Structure 1
Amino acid sequence: MSMSLGSLPFPFPLPHQLAGMWLNDRFEKNIRVRYFRGMEFSGPTGDPGWFGPDSATWYVHAHTPALIFGLQCASYLERLDPSIFWMGVHHSRLVQKDDDGEPTGRIDPAGAAVRLGHSVAFFIGTAYGSTETAERLATTVRAMHHTIKGQRPDGLTYDADDPAWLRWNYATVVWGIATAHEIYHPKPLRGRELDRYYAEFVRVGHALGGTDLPATKADTLACLAEYLPKLALTHGNAIATGPNLTNPAQAAVDWAIRDTMPEWAAQLVMHRPPNPIERRARRSAVWTALNGLHATMGEAPEFTAARARVADGTSVPHTEPRRDLGPDPTLGRAEVEASL
């Protein structure tokens, strides 16, 4: 009797399984262990959290590689605001410092990894975590924003609690995640269903203190374009993008990020899309990479736990973030990072 290889109980992991094991191990050690501390996904039973199992947000955020790519797109766009750029220079590890403590303008890979880890944890935690987890994350991020105040080299001041800044920051994030989903998810939401994601995500923006937030794709794009007179290509951004990047892997990711930009933002960074055939080929390569990563990594444990938490139903479709934004705790940066 003959038997095909596919029906044999193969004793060793196949290559794609090994890749998935390696990626999940890296995610576990570098992100989950460090930045998911204290988050609750498996309980309380029936708690839908801020969004719930029937939400567009649960669907969009379930594709972890696309979510991470979307956050990188958002970070790129938001830094076109010089105040955002100088907030990062003065109040984060994102930019390398010289021996005298002066910023070099170059991205610090270790600092960028810390920022990305916190961001991924926040947007998975608020999407799938219990209501208490989402509330705690929002409180902590607001406390961090309260510490970010200062002055740019040109003398203009910045304040992370400024409503105009919060609106810009919110718009870049929801745009980045939704755009990455549109382009690179194998079955993306479109039209009204995608607008449902934009409308749901406003809950996160409100929880962080935002007001007058856009709630559709069209309104979000219009909101972003309104800020164009305030935007600029800083030296720090310029040396970390486009032909100034010499590492091929970084350059490939950078191109994919710039390719998502609205036309006016692409013009600002002097990015021109290639001919349609080359653009499609490049996007296909990125699509294959992101979806290959998603396939090998499998469903995130946080998503699995959240679905089990509400498997027998919920008392309400979703909970609402508390609107009482004060008093928030006064925390130093070390305290904020330790609590995330």
Structure 2
Amino acid sequence: MNIREWLMPPVIEPAQDYGFFGPDSVTWKVWSFPTSLTIGFQRAVVIEELDPALVAAVDKTHDIYRRPRTRYDRTLRYFAMVAFGDSASTAKAADVLVKIHSKAVGTDPVTGGRYDANDPHSQLWIHLTAWHSILKAYEQYGPGRLSEAEENQYWAECARAAELQTCDPADVPRTREGVLAYFESMRPQLIGSDIARQAMNHLLRADVMLPEMPRVLRPATRVVSAFLRRGTLATMPVWMREMSGLPTSRVLDAAVALPLRVSFATVATNTRLQLMLLRLLSPTTIEVAAPVLRSVPAIDPVTTTPYETQKALGLDRPRDAHLALRTRQHNRVFGQHLPPSDEGLIESQPILGRVGAT
């Protein structure tokens, strides 16, 4: 890590437009708080692994173990683009993500069934887990619970963001009760398999997402990583932790609450510190989040919807996009027993950042 570069303030370019939400949205309010792209994001990627179809795809590539840093960076950048990015760039990123997911097909070694990352069922699970986790972290370690009107708006915005996924936005619950009912309905389908437990424990290690730290900072890094791990665990229901073989100490859950609230509240008052920490966690996300954190007006201060943008750009809706490629990938994997093509992954690098080895 280059300390001088890390400390320098970023060059901030205004976004082309306000994307799909904008300054008056609850999404910007919640997602711009420092709990979101730390504990909220970590909670999302950890809980996702309980879906046997999803973790089968993760385990097949082993990318979270081979290149955790770049995978984290690319994924966090995409999350930030959905919430904060300009409409055209985000719609193009979502389109290329369908291509990337087309290669994540195969046979689940645990259930014996086939998995497909573009399957609407899997996409809805990923989408709701992310939005719920971001809100949960905000409530537990940030400003607290939203008003009823704000929460209704938040879930309506979540449904709008689902237009970037292959799932049907109509399937997105619009209330807290509906979201909780969704997770309860998923509970019988979740499995704390060996590969899920391995992935979850790995993703709970915040240090695997960080660059190589100077020796003098490593003890502090271990402390921060331990607090983030315990803080993330404390947001997860006990049944989920028990299923995953994760610790369930109520004492430790309570012990980290105040230090984390104070730390996040402190970071939230200092935009430069937020950008420094974000550069540490995800360098490619800076250009997406910095205009929002610094309240830089967009060139064209308007919002739109993903479907409107896709139509304007001549892009198919995600559920219909790249069907020919997805068919070819299925034929390669299930018919010819060959590895899937990497063409989507290669095409994504100018949009989401390079794919590295570490």
TM-score by length of 2: 0.69
Q: Does the residue aligned with 2:63 lie in a helix, a strand or coil?
A: coil
Alignment check: 8 A CA contact 2:99 2:345 kept:
no
- Partner in structure 2 of residue 230 of structure 1: 189
- Per-residue CA deviation, residues 250-294 of structure 1 (Å, 9 max, x unaligned), is 44332221211134323323543414xx64331112223333344
Maintained 8 Å contact 1:65/1:293: no
Counterpart among 163, 175, 197 of residue 216 in structure 1: 175
Amino acid at match of 2:260: V
1:211-240 deviations in Å (ceiling 9; x for gaps): 212232221121112111121212234345
Instruction: Look up the match of 2:104.
Output: 148
Partner residue, 1:90: 60
Checking the alignment, whether the CA contact within 8 Å between 1:56 and 1:196 is kept in structure 2 is yes
Aligned to 1:94, the other structure's residue is in SS state: helix
What is the identity, as a one-letter code, of the residue corresponding to 2:201? T
Larger radius of gyration: 1
Q: Counterpart in 1 of 2:237?
A: 262
* Separation in structure 2 between the aligned mates of residue 24 and residue 58 of structure 1, nearest angstrom: 27
Distance 1:288 1:22 in 2: 26
Q: Indicate the SS of the match to 2:115.
A: strand
Q: Name stretches of at least 5 consecutive residues in structure 1 with no aligned partner.
A: 1-20, 34-39, 97-110
The answer to whether the 8 Å contact 2:35/2:141 transfers is no
Q: Secondary structure at the match of 2:305?
A: coil
Q: 2:31 aligns with which of 44, 61, 64?
A: 61
Q: 1:149 corresponds to which letter in structure 2?
A: V
Question: 1:60, CA displacement in angstroms?
Answer: 1.2
Kindly report the root-mean-square deviation, in angstroms, between the aligned alpha carbons of the 2 structures. Answer: 3.4
What SS is found at the alignment partner of 2:24?
Answer: coil
Which residue of the partner structure matches residue 351 of structure 2? Answer: 339
Q: Which residue of 1 aligns with 2:280?
A: none
Alignment correspondent of 1:128: 84
Offset, 1:332:
3.4
Tell whether the 8 Å contact from 1:67 to 1:181 is kept in structure 2 after alignment: no
Distance 1:288 1:197, change over 3 A: same
The alpha-carbon distance between structure 1 residues 113 and 198, as it changes in their structure 2 partners (threshold 3 A), is farther
**Matched ranges for 1:54-203 at <5 A:** 54-91=24-61, 93-96=63-66, 111-154=67-110, 155-186=112-143, 189-203=146-160
* Cross-structure match for 2:335: none
Q: Letter of the aligned partner of 2:348 in structure 1?
A: V
Q: In structure 2, what is the equivalent of residue 7 of structure 1?
A: none
Structure 1 distance, partners of 2:321, 2:293, is 34
- Give the Å deviation of 1:200: 0.4
Comparing 176-185 with 228-237, greater Cα deviation is found at: 228-237
Higher helix share: 2
Q: Distance in 1 between matches of 2:294 and 2:35?
A: 19
Checking the alignment, whether the CA contact within 8 Å between 1:42 and 1:309 is kept in structure 2 is yes
1:301 to 286, 290, 299: 290
Give CA-to-partner distance per residue, 1:140-186, whole Å, 9 cap, x none.
Answer: 22221122111122432101121211111111111111111111223
Equivalent residue of 1:220, what SS? Answer: helix
Taking structure 1 as reference, are residues 149 and 237 closer, same or farther at Cα in structure 2, changes over 3 Å only? closer
CA distance in 1, matches of 2:84, 2:269: 20
- Secondary structure of 1:150's aligned partner: strand
**Alpha carbons 1:80, 1:233 under 8 Å: kept:** yes
Q: Aligned in 2, Cα 1:334/1:227: closer, same or farther, shift over 3 Å?
A: same
Corresponding residue to 1:290 among 235, 239, 264:
264
Give the secondary-structure state (helix, strand or coil) at the position aligned to 2:106.
strand
Asked if 1:321 is matched to 2:306, the reply is: yes
Deviations along 1:286-312, one digit per CA (max 9) or x if unpaired, are 2233333444414652315764117x9
Structure-1 separation of matches of 2:250 and 2:294:
43
Asked if residue 272 in structure 1 is aligned to residue 244 in structure 2, the reply is no
Equivalenced residue count is 288
Q: Is the 8 A contact 2:34 2:264 kept in 1?
A: no
Label 1:227 to 1:27 Cα distance change in 2 as closer, same or farther (>3 A).
farther
TM-score (norm 1): 0.73
